[in-house]
């Protein structure tokens, strides 16, 4: 039926008024490009327009969608019609399968959220196709001469708000356990997609984000539909797609947050971006090699053979002891830090590998194995550099050498406090609220994402490294303890749990030493806490039209200097002032 509608519209093409391209919009596709991908769209929609009769047919259709979707999307040209069609294809496939899953579960038609939206969705598709067919493409720029307009500051703020709002919707969705909650979650996601995505600005920086948001919303709703239909978490085909979509949205928001933090750091006047540590001195190199190479070789061999729970527990205890005795005392110079971090990461992979071998975290297996493969390569590279460092000859003789990290600048502190520590609080907050196996799966993957982010953006200076190494250990131990527990290890025998508490105490001590108290002069500031469900945007002035300067997480402390209006004025760690909506802050910490 849908193919007939589209073909009928094609037949009307000569009689449709030509629509002129708006020079302020994204560049349109040429006639050749449009015709090349349009028939694929028709075939794609026909593929998911028929009736799915049983669970095996649904499984085959879902496997076909997952296998072909990324390939189909990658083949589309970079022009406005193709970008719009990409969104449509993502939604058509996921919605059709989810609708079928609910129908196979005997959900009445008037309660199926996909059917209640169907007529409206079909009209939207008809309008879209009609507009595309009527577009005058005579002045379409060729592929090599296209450029997307950059996003304005207000566009970026709108995208930031949409990303934060979606992550709130997603987390509210993932908290439900009852079938009725699945239906409510689907309705929320479909309404969010329908209301928010069409209003987002289309500009250079927004394209990837809009696709990520569309995919994440569609796949999360489909996951809930399959769950309603009785598909187990292990058999549900959508968790990996959901994880990938959430990771893409999160990566976009992280890039924006680090850009804002770097801008704030630069405004401090003495921040010049990421610095490298000095190369290790000959003495430091010798000390590092003597402490590491033989012990690491023995541990990695044992780690590779630790597939059983008993072996993994014994290995983890020895690895935790080695981290405290063999790694903690290494000099703070380039080669030593690279080796220390890489070794700690590979050792932390062992309990996760054990859980994977036991089938305990299958939903995240591809993502986790990929991260662990990267860790293996990084360790190989780090040890190779360490062994060859003394052979650099004259080039290293003139290089900057030292055995300790330089002092942090104000800008370095801003990067840590305004960006990295809030990310750490997100991870620890999620750990405190994890109650289901699915929460643990996501948390383990999030731990890997955080540690990757930490390595990439952590300033190489004294205070930052001291706090960063503790955050890395806590994040890794959280993942390791969850992995072993999921694999069936007795909780009281998991060694990582014995280290998290003391490390958190040391971390809080460091924060209390280095946290700026510029807002507390003469007692002028009051202590508040963020009570937003997920994150609260912090703005440059008292309006949602103002730029977002950073984002704080639920439970994070605020220094409020003015709470007399609907927007509270706060003091940031950089000693600059900013604003938070008053309903997102309270003098009572939120429950964990």
Q: What is the pLDDT of residue 568?
A: 93
Q: What is the pLDDT of residue 77?
A: 72
CA distances from 391 to 197, 388, 461 (A): 56, 5, 26
Q: pTM here?
A: 0.59
**Around Cβ 437, how many Cβ atoms within 10 Å?**
16
Separation of alpha carbons 260 and 548, rounded Å: 8
Q: How confident is the model at residue 75 (pLDDT cuts 50, 70, 90)?
A: low
Q: What are residue 552's phi and psi, to 5 degrees?
A: -110, 150
* Structural element, H or E, at residue 560: strand 557-562
Which of the residue ranges 43-52, 360-369, 502-511 would you say has the lowest mean pLDDT? 43-52
Mean pLDDT in residue range 183-204? 89
Q: How confident is the model at residue 393 (pLDDT cuts 50, 70, 90)?
A: very low
Q: Is the pLDDT of residue 396 over 70?
A: no
H helix runs in 487-522, sequence order: 497-514
Mean pLDDT in residue range 445-470? 90
> Does residue 475 sit in helix, strand or coil?
helix
CA distances from 588 to 101, 175, 518, 528, 582 (A): 44, 24, 22, 7, 13
Mean pLDDT in residue range 407-417? 78
Question: Pick the residue with more confidence: 304 or 529?
Answer: 529
Which of the residue ranges 376-385, 391-400, 402-411, 479-488 would you say has the lowest mean pLDDT? 391-400
Q: For the segment 90-104, what is each residue's pLDDT rounded down to a tens digit?
A: 888 888 889 999 999
Closest CA to 242 of 102, 115, 364: 364
In 438-553, beta strands by DSSP E:
526-530, 535-539, 548-553
Q: What are residue 571's phi and psi, to 5 degrees?
A: -110, 125
Q: What are residue 581's phi and psi, to 5 degrees?
A: -60, 130
Q: For the segment 534-576, what is each residue's pLDDT rounded down to a tens digit?
A: 778 888 888 888 878 877 878 888 888 888 889 999 887 666 7
Handedness of CA 270, 276, 278, 283 (dihedral sign): positive
Domains annotated for the chain, with CATH where assigned, are 2-16+23-263 (no CATH), 282-514 (no CATH), 518-586 (2.30.30.40)
Question: Pick the residue with more confidence: 121 or 350?
Answer: 350
Mean pLDDT in residue range 146-163? 84
Q: What is the pLDDT of residue 7?
A: 38
Q: What is the largest CA-CA distance in the chain?
A: 82
Mean pLDDT in residue range 347-359? 86
Q: Is the pLDDT of residue 174 over 90?
A: no
List the beta bridge partners of residue 558.
Answer: 528
Closest CA to 307 of 299, 297, 315, 318: 315
Question: Pick the residue with more confidence: 486 or 122?
Answer: 486
Separation of alpha carbons 444 and 483, rounded Å: 7
* Structural element, H or E, at residue 585: strand 585-586
Q: Is the pLDDT of residue 1 over 70?
A: no
Return the half-sphere exposure (C-beta side, CA atoms, 13 A cut-off) of residue 149: 16
Q: What percent of the chain has pLDDT over 70?
A: 81
H helix runs in 48-117, sequence order: 55-74, 80-104, 113-116
Q: How confident is the model at residue 22 (pLDDT cuts 50, 70, 90)?
A: very low
Per the structure block, which two tokens stand in for 324? 């405290």
Over the chain, what is the mean pLDDT?
Answer: 79
Q: What is the pLDDT of residue 274?
A: 57
Q: Is the pLDDT of residue 350 over 80?
A: yes
> Does residue 148 sit in helix, strand or coil?
coil
Q: What is the pLDDT of residue 264?
A: 61
Closest CA to 194 of 125, 132, 103: 125
Q: Is the pLDDT of residue 21 over 50?
A: no
Q: Which residues neighbour 209 within 8 Å (Cβ) at sequence distance 6 or greater?
A: 159, 162, 163, 248, 249, 252
Q: What percent of the chain has pLDDT over 90?
A: 13
Exposure string of 467-483, with b = 16+ CB inside 10 Å and e = fewer, is bbbbbbbbbbbbbbbbb
Q: Is the pLDDT of residue 428 over 60?
A: yes
Q: For the segment 36-57, what is each residue's pLDDT rounded down to a tens digit?
A: 766 666 666 666 566 788 888 8
Q: How confident is the model at residue 391 (pLDDT cuts 50, 70, 90)?
A: low
Q: Is the pLDDT of residue 592 over 90?
A: no
């Amino acid at each position: 039926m849908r193919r007939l509608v589209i073909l009928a519209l094609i037949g009307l093409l000569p009689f449709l008024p030509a629509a002129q391209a708006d020079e302020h919009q994204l560049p349109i596709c040429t006639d050749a490009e449009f015709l090349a991908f349009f028939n694929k769209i028709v075939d794609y929609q026909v593929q998911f327009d028929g009736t799915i009769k049983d669970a095996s047919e649904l499984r085959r259709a879902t496997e076909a969608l997952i296998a072909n979707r990324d390939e189909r999307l990658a083949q589309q040209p970079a022009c406005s019609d193709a970008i719009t069609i990409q969104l449509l294809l993502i939604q058509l496939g996921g919605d059709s399968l989810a609708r079928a899953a609910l129908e196979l579960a005997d959900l009445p038609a008037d309660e199926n959220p996909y059917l209640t939206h169907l007529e409206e969705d079909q009209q939207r598709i008809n309008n879209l196709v009609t507009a595309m067919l009527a577009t005058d493409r005579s002045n379409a720029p060729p592929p090599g001469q296209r450029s997307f307009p950059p996003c304005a500051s207000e566009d970026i703020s709108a995208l930031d708000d949409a990303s934060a709002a979606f992550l709130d919707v997603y987390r509210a969705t993932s908290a439900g356990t009852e079938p009725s909650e699945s239906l409510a979650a689907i309705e929320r996601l479909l309404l969010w997609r329908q209301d928010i995505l069409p209003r987002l600005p289309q500009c250079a920086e927004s394209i990837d984000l809009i696709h990520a948001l569309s995919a994440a919303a569609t796949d999360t709703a489909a996951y809930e539909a399959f769950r309603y239909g009785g598909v187990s978490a292990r058999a549900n085909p959508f968790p990996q797609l959901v994880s990938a979509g959430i990771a893409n949205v999160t990566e976009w928001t992280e890039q924006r947050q680090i850009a804002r933090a770097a801008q704030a750091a630069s405004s401090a006047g003495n921040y010049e971006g990421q610095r490298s540590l000095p190369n290790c001195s000959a003495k430091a190199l010798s000390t590092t090699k003597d402490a590491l190479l033989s012990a690491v070789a023995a541990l990695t061999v044992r780690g590779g053979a630790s597939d059983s729970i008993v072996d993994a527990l014994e290995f983890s205890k020895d690895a935790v002891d080695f981290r405290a005795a063999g790694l903690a005392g290494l000099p703070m110079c380039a080669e030593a830090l690279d080796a220390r971090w890489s070794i700690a990461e590979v050792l932390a992979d062992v309990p996760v590998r054990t859980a994977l071998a036991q089938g305990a975290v299958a939903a995240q297996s591809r993502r986790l194995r990929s991260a662990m493969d990267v860790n293996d390569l990084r360790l190989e590279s780090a040890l190779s550099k360490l062994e060859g460092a003394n052979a650099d000859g004259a080039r290293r003789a003139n290089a900057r050498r030292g055995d300790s990290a330089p002092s942090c600048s104000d800008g370095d502190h801003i990067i840590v406090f305004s960006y990295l520590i809030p990310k750490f609080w997100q991870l620890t907050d999620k750990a405190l609220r994890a109650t289901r196996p699915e929460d643990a799966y996501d948390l383990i993957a999030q731990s890997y994402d955080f540690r990757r982010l930490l390595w990439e953006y952590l300033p190489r200076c004294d205070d930052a490294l001291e706090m960063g190494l503790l955050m890395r250990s806590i994040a890794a131990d959280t993942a390791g303890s969850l992995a072993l527990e999921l694999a069936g290890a007795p909780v009281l025998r998991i060694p990582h749990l014995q280290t998290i508490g003391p490390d958190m105490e040391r971390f809080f001590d460091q924060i209390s030493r280095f946290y700026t108290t510029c807002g507390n002069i003469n007692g002028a500031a009051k202590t508040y806490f963020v009570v937003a469900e997920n994150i609260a945007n912090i703005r440059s002035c008292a309006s949602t039209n103002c730029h977002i300067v950073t984002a704080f997480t639920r439970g994070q402390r605020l220094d409020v200097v003015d709470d007399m209006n609907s927007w509270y004025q706060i003091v940031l760690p950089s000693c600059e002032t900013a604003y938070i909506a008053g309903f997102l802050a309270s003098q009572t910490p939120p429950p964990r």
